Structure 1
Amino acid sequence: MMTRWMMLAGVALVMSGGALAQTAPKPAKRPFQVTSPNGARADDYYWLRDDTRKNPDMLAYLKAENDYADAQLKALKPLQDKLYEETVAHIKQDDSSVPYQKNGYWYGTRFETGADYSIIERRKGSRDAPAETMFDQPAMAKDKAFFAIGDWAVSPDNRLVAWAEDIVGRRQYVLKVKDLTTGKVFADTVDNIEPNVVWSGDGKSVLYVAKDATTLRGYQVKAHALGTAVASDRLIYEEKDDTFSMGIGRTADDRFVCIISQSTVSDEQRCAPTAAPTSFTVLAPRAREFRYSADHLGNRWIIRTNRDAKNYKLVTLADADAANGVAAWRDLTPASDKVFIENFEPFEGFIAIDEREGGNRKVRLLGDDGKSTAVTADEPAYRMMLDVNEEPATPWVRYTYASLVTPTTTYEVNAKTGERRVLKVAPVPGYDPANYVTERVWATARDGVKVPVSVVYRKGTKLDGTAPLFQYAYGSYGYSTDPAVDAGRIGLLDRGVVYAIAHIRGGQEMGRGWYDDGHLLKKKNSFTDFIDVTRHLVATRYAAKDRVAAMGGSAGGLLMGAVANMAPEDYKLIVAQVPFVDVVTTMLDASIPLTTFEYDEWGNPAQKAYYDYMLSYSPYDNVAAKPYPALYVGTGLWDSQVQYYEPAKWVARLREMKTDSNPLLFRVNMEAGHGGKSGRFERYRQNAEWQAFMLSQLGVEK
């Protein structure tokens, strides 16, 4: 074939013999000014934003990046395939979940060998009864580039099921309803909803949260009566404050339907009887820095709140006193500086509490008599959390336990007798926990704060300062990263890689104060914590200084971008997945999904103090003419959480500015959103690509 020259969007591509030449794309620069109340900034790559995702110049650039990544990674394909095969070998392909009981049925999921998606089924009256397929997801996903069921709910009479389905990956779900007795799917569909559906008590209507078409913010709760036109759906509640998002749910006893309006620093919950979800009563009016969530069982409300308790406490409110509001709240647990209450579930006679202490997640049982019993663990770093408990009229509490060594194990414990029994140990073929070691390390940050780190490595790995290190963190929104065995990580450990989770500020591993010290005008603590953890692990000889890889995604991708600018010399490679890297521009634009109700996470750049602070760390704005480590950047064209053009612009500017010759690869998934392609095996295929690249950069090629 003759060589031909193509010029698209200012991107130079050389096609030769059907293979792309290994020349990095260089997108055109088109002058543009991003204006704001606090000044203007030049953004020569702003043109890469196209909300329709149809601009041929933009699409040509993304294709060029994919072609370039293909060419650069071609030699690593055997290693990539090997990593994928090893991962799949650690997965029990025909696995099934532990069934749970609700309203006379046992519900569960099962995978068939080779299937990317599970079959969701139920059995009437007994675990041994014949299985009734509710969702044959492998069949539903056939010939679809993306498929996900975000939520489903069975009607009170067990006859119908409503679900939220996404076949694009942009989290704009479609409401559907099916008759489980006949298999007939109703003609009723509602587009652009949150993955959240609830039945009315009479089973004739489905409540859902409608999204704004532009911002994708859930802002209206509506009721759809089966067999009627969507245009006639009844509006139940509209959230006017665009800094709030919404959800709906039922209480533990199914007596109430509740609408939850939620921002970073404020909650408001309004509930109505399930039998007639029309007139909703607010449990406590919203106020800044006041958060709560309520559940109901018997004749009382149980409420998790930060009122006079930074790390949250539980309070109760009798039905008879509900009209008196917070004045009638009575403490069930004391406020604590050390114990952070994450979640709770009410049972008849006791409450199961999901809490954090010392960086670990634990379970505690609190009896109505005030006696408290902690569920114990034997490892230094672990995750224990409440599992599915749909029937409150039982003494048995189901929970899961996991660590970086111990596969996820489902237990149930009897709150009356203390008896504990194993329901299931997640099968991990070819894996022996005895071959691995997990540790809890405490790294001292530059301001003296002790940062917890969960570490795992294979026995025999030399901790003499020569091992490669793979360090991960998230550190935003108060989201905590808990340890668990990952089939896709075993191959890395077996090759001598030390894996570490840095529980940096911005999460809530150490309580609400841990989050407060890692957001808004203290966000840089997240970045410096991560860097200081790396330096501690190198100084204590867990790893070689020149063999460190870092990874983060979404807001953790922001972390990666900031770290790349602040301490590029500390990392051999950085993997940034769907990274939030254009902080200032995005937070200035209220039309972009998530922007408005994230002002309390990042700040509102319309205010100068926040504008200046964001600008000082925004990865895109701080790319400089200096050496950077090798970089692997991933995104999805249909991402609704972090728009594809953020990493696209960042990569373009890095290509323009960086002075090193280290590889920079940009993988764009053209058929997926924030979480990548759907399907359990597809995820591991995608992971194997960056893992192979990482190992090659760390000098581990086998």
Structure 2
Amino acid sequence: MWRLFNSRSLLVTALSLSASLSSPNTLRSMSSFSSTDTMRSPPAAKKVEHRMEMFGDVRVDNYYWLRDDSRTSPEVLSYLQQENAYTDSVLSGTKQFEDQLFKEIRGRIKEEDISVPYRQGPYYYYTRNLEGKEYLQHCRRLIPNHDMTPCSVHDTMPTGPDDPPEHVILDENIKAQEHGFYSIQAFKVSPNHKLVAYAEDTKGDEIYTVHVIDVEIGAPVGKPLTSVTSDVEWANDDTLVYITMDEILRPDKVWLHKLGTDQSSDICLYHEKDDTFSIDLQKSESQEFLFVGSENKITRFIFFIDASKPEDGLKVLTPHVVGIASWAKHRGNHFFIIRRSEEFFNSELLACPVDDVSVTTPLIPHRERIKIQDTCLFANHLAVYERENGLPKVIAYHLPAVDEPLTSLEDGRAIDFIDPVYTVDPAQSEFNSSILRFSYSSLRTPDSVYDYDMNTGTSVVKKIETVLGGFDASEYVTERKWATASDGTQVPISIVYRKNLVNLDGSDPLLLYGYGSYEVCIDPWFKASRLSLLDRGFIFAIAHIRGGGEMGRQWYENGKYLKKMNTFTDFIACAEYLIEQRYCSKEKLCIEGRSAGGLLMGSVLNMRPDLFKVAFAGVPFVDVLTTMLDPTIPLTTSEWEEWGDPRKEEFYHYMKAYSPVDNIKAKNYPHILVTAGLHDPRVMYSEPAKFVAKLRATKTDNNMLLLKCEFGAGHSSKSGRFEKLQEQAFIYTFILKALDMIPEL
């Protein structure tokens, strides 16, 4: 399935890393400072004046020296070590509580578990977690009499002693043993089910190596493909298509690789030379075509490749027209195309014949209040994921036979959901079946996988995430409220709390989360670790602010470029609403955002530091102007379509007005925790480091200001599932300490 409006969570800013920094021994030595190695006084980064002048405006960055592209500068690493040591010393008195909190959070998860198996050819494929292990096993089982058993909502994988045995294709735990960081972002089975290609990242820099292995014996097949993205697909049983990046990590070339040949002899199918565009790759659900998309934030055009004849190269499906963006699928004699333009901003759905792509037939017209978010295409059905009034919807349509004319869609059937606010996403479905699989959750409903029969309307739950420790969803309340922004716009807020622990009189602590960029929809999702706050009387809320995509394409357009300030004022309006409605008070209001949400944190802290008690900014994009003025930084050029090009005077002054590093003032700020990843390829570690250094030298309060830099991780922090839970316990401990809510142990 395709992902519409596929934007990066934030600009890529990492370069190639030194091999010495990736070894576990080196990483351990870098983070070996303990609380006894340093005094409680915070480190003071040295000031080295760096003047930047543009349009008659002079900016002085005294901490520019912290940027080291190689990440090997002893002076920079020493400073980051000092910050980590200071953080450890400040929180040393809460370490016992943090450890207990980690045990509590870990105690809620079912450590040994498997995903819902999905059918692919003659096999069930699934992943397995083992007790005590950080990473996944990738497994499969043969389907008995698979040609005689059509897919059904009542399908279950046979696991009896007389049924085909489980086969472990790949155990990530074994692969991860020699690495401080380990992540697999693609796991693709060949059409004949004999081979697997998987994309592996062992540094956190999102520069992948693709390995091909024999499924039965696990042996490598040929040499791995190096320095590639995680976009890799099988064209046929012995041919891969993949993407590489240029020197600023922009995906720019599509390659054809024949198994058994050297990567140096691969054929380049397409080179995108416009440095504001990036390319991506998907395979159709029908498995007959591959689609190569080239896009920036407002334009997207598509090529297609016949998977049976990849050597024939790319053919144009939708042309490059500025302001028109399209995504494609395939079924039978037709391509299905979602197309967005300035006129049709919430998108329309079209069909065109495979043998004449210039002829299009409208299937779903543009609607001003309903946004087409995604689709799943089947041999006889179409499922459309939409958004209306901030909530996702799923509509299932029956399609005419492949050999019949495709002129319109019959009335679709909507799937009903039970919570007032929720999230629903496509899951792996079988193309030749009538069964739509989707995942569902809400702020009080654990992640659930459903199979929905599009012929009968029957829906069957296949799996609900197990939450240990006596969890009862009925004990929690979810709500949807609306705050009024400064310009009168109504901004939705999703809220959850434990009904018997919350007073709703202003005395309760509240954690408000926000993002608001790239048209990303932050739908209300379940998180078991969040129960550790809710069960301590917290309220959790999500501000669905402009710049995101929750309310349609225009919602995004009204929170970018020269309207970006709406993102920040919307968040402030949501915070003020929650206080006015007595969900909390200023003394109990905590805020959280990561990446572009970290930009949100930095901006609102500068604008209204009096409004918040505690803030967590994860890997925050806070040096907006300096970063966006440097086209040598990875993907800056493509990000101009999101933030604007500050080489133009109007954008320069507007971006300077909200760039967090440029707007720190001598005033009181809340308690603040900031995190960074040394190998982060999206937000260079130096941005949060500079923000903390300048803030510490400027602010007038004595509140906590802590920086935690992970030396063996990238944008998503550590890679192991328990390591991530440990980080969550660390963040919650900081918040509880700032609120003076940690009990004596």
Q: TM-score range by the shorter chain?
A: over 0.9
Q: What's the offset of the Cα at 1:60?
A: 0.6
For residue 132 of structure 1, the aligned residue among 142, 167, 176 is 167
Aligned to 1:280: 314
Instruction: Specify the alignment match of 1:151 in structure 2.
Output: 186
Corresponding residue for 2:493? 453
How far has the Cα of 1:26 moved from its partner? Answer: 0.3
Compared CA separation, residues 37 and 244, structure 1 to 2 (3 A): farther
Give the whole-Å Cα distance in 2 for the aligned partners of 1:293 and 1:82: 48
Native 8 Å contact 2:606 2:664 kept in 1:
yes
In the TM superposition, residue 229 of structure 1 has moved relative to its aligned partner by 2.0
Equivalent pair of 1:363/1:386 in contact (CA under 8 Å): no
Q: How does 1:22-61 map to 2 (within 5 A)?
A: 22-36=40-54, 39-61=57-79
Residue 643 (structure 2) aligns with: 602
| 1:374 equivalent among 408, 414, 418 | 414
Partner of 2:581: 540
Q: Distance in 2 between matches of 1:169 and 1:399?
A: 29
CA distance in 2, matches of 1:374, 1:133: 38
Separation in 2, partners of 1:521, 1:152:
40
For 1:636 and 1:36, how far apart are their aligned partners in 2?
A: 30
Segments of structure 1 that go 5 or more residues without pairing to the other structure are 1-14
Identical positions, percent = 40
Deviation at 1:39, TM superposition (A): 4.5
Q: Which residue of 1 aligns with 2:333?
A: 299
Deviation of 1:366 after TM superposition, in Å, equals: 2.2
Q: Is the 8 A contact 1:471 1:502 kept in 2?
A: yes
Q: CA offsets, 1:254-288, max 9 Å, x none?
A: 11122111211111110021011132111111222
Cα RMSD (Å): 1.4
2:6 paired residue number: none
**Which residue of the partner structure matches residue 120 of structure 1?**
138
CA distance in 2, matches of 1:35, 1:205: 51
Q: Distance in 2 between matches of 1:17 and 1:508?
A: 43
1:107 to partner: Cα distance? 0.8
Q: 1:94 aligns with which of 112, 122, 127?
A: 112
Listed one character per residue, the Cα deviations across residues 613-652 of structure 1 (whole Å, up to 9, x for unaligned) are 1001000000111111111000000000000001111111
Structure 1 range deviating more: 89-98 or 63-72: 89-98
TM-score normalised per structure 2 = 0.90
1:11 maps to what in 2?
Answer: none
Name the SS for the 1:321 alignment partner: coil
Residue 329 of structure 2 aligns to a residue whose secondary structure is strand
State the distance in 2 between where 1:216 and 1:682 align: 27
One-letter code of the match for 1:302?
F
Partner of 1:9: none
Please tell me the residue identity of whatever aligns with 2:422.
Answer: Y
Question: What's the TM-score once normalised by structure 1's chain length?
Answer: 0.95
* Alpha-carbon distance in 2 for matches of 1:159, 1:481: 38
Query: Could you say which residue in structure 2 is the equivalent of 1:472?
Result: 513
- 1:75-131 CA deviation, whole Å, 9 max, x = no partner? 111221122111111101011100111122211001011111110111122533311
Q: 2:603 & 2:57 partners in 1: Cα distance?
A: 22
- Alignment pair present for 1:701 and 2:734: no
Asked whether the equivalents of residues 35 and 88 of structure 2 are also in contact (C-alpha less than 8 Å), the reply is no
Residues 465-504 of structure 1 mapped to structure 2, 5 A cutoff:
465-504=506-545
Match of 1:5 in 2: none
3-state SS of 1:699 partner: coil
Q: Secondary structure at the match of 1:332?
A: strand
Mapped pair 1:196 → 2:227: no
SS of corresponding position for 1:496: coil
Equivalent residues in 2 for 1:264-279 (5 A)? 264-278=297-311, 279=313
Q: Deviations over 1:56-88 (max 9, x none)?
A: 110110000000000001011122112211111
* Cα pair 1:581 1:646 within 8 Å, conserved: yes
Which residue of structure 2 aligns with residue 678 of structure 1?
719
Question: For structure 1, which segment, 589-598 or 547-556, has the greater mean C-alpha deviation from structure 2 after superposition?
Answer: 589-598
- Residues 362 and 385 in structure 1, CA contact (< 8 A), matched pair in contact too: no
1:161 to 193, 196, 201: 196
Q: How does 1:643-658 map to 2 (within 5 A)?
A: 643-658=684-699
**What is the aligned partner in structure 2 of residue 6 from structure 1?**
none
Matching of residue 418 in structure 1 with residue 457 in structure 2 = yes
2:330 is the alignment partner of 1:289: no
User: Residues 499 and 230 of structure 1: is their aligned pair in 2 closer, same or farther, counting only changes over 3 Å?
Assistant: same
1:248 is matched with 281
* Unaligned runs of at least 5 residues, structure 2: 1-32, 145-156, 159-163, 400-408
Further displaced range: 64-73 or 397-406: 397-406
Identify which of 122, 130, 133 aligns with 1:104: 122
Contact 2:35/2:89 (<8 A) preserved: no
Count residues with an aligned counterpart.
681
Which residues in structure 2 correspond to 1:349-364 (within 5 Å)?
Answer: 349-364=380-395
The CA distance in 1 between the partners of 2:533 and 2:100, in whole Å, is: 12
Structure 2 equivalent of residue 12 of structure 1: none
Task: Report if the CA contact (8 A) 1:363-1:385 is conserved.
Answer: no
In 2, Cα distance between the equivalents of 1:262 and 1:125? 40
SS at match of 1:141: helix
Q: Tell me what 1:312 maps to.
A: 347
Residue 34 of structure 1: CA displacement?
2.9
Matched letter for residue 518 of structure 1: G
Question: Which of the residues 350, 356, 367 maps onto 1:321?
Answer: 356
Q: Distance in 2 between matches of 1:284 and 1:17?
A: 59
